[in-house]
Homo-oligomer: A and B are copies of this chain.
């Protein structure tokens, strides 16, 4: 019913994360309505992104240079490293605007079920970075609160013990804006255990 040329674009849009048939159709149709310049920019930027994005040699975050802007920022605190699962977490931490340390992207978490072992993660480079920091240093382990995340946290703690570094993790607790009445019992239990003096 659609010209082949349109069906091809619909199929291509369906390859994007979270895009189903209906949305792919809407997006492809909107290409027809867009002005020529915007279409060129979209097409070019997609290619440029895929071809030029690399991982920062220091921390593993995405960048189009050798070292990412976070690692090369001299105003940031060099002695705190926040260890995250993937580069998307970095972006999310940056949105808080309240963290001025550095990051280290593990590129996954230990998961025996998925066959992900510690030597597949960027752990060696983390240890090396920590050893190079002079004076007081801290590693904040910021992994997801799942079995895999916690296994990785414990593994990192074991590996880093003896490297003269303070090791912390994110606090567990109540997320912003929820009704306590409907909060799951695991979160509530953790919020109780991690309670703070006021």
A interface with B by C-beta (< 8 Å): 1-6, 8-9, 11-13, 15-19, 23, 26-34, 36, 38-50, 52-53, 62-65, 68-70, 88, 90-91, 94-95
Contacts and interface: CB of A to CB of B under 8 A. Distances in A.
10 contacts: A1-B70, A8-B41, A16-B31, A17-B29, A17-B33, A18-B23, A31-B46, A31-B49, A32-B49, A39-B50
Contacts of A11: 41, 45
Given A3-B64, A63-B3, A8 B39 contact: no
B53 A3 contact: yes
A36 B62 contact: no
A64 to B, nearest CB: 5
A53 to B, nearest CB: 6
A73 to B, nearest CB: 11
Nearest to A4: B64
- The count of identical subunits is 2
Contacts of A50: 31-32, 34, 36, 39
A137 B3 CA distance: 27
Given A1-B94, A17-B29, A6 B53 contact: yes
Q: Which of A4, A9, A88 has the most CB of B within 10 A?
A: A9
B12 A42 contact: yes
Nearest to A88: B29
B15 A42 contact: yes
Contacts of A91: 1-2
A88 to B, nearest CB: 7
Contacts of A33: 17
A163 to B, nearest CB: 29
A188 B99 CA distance: 58
A32 B3 contact: no
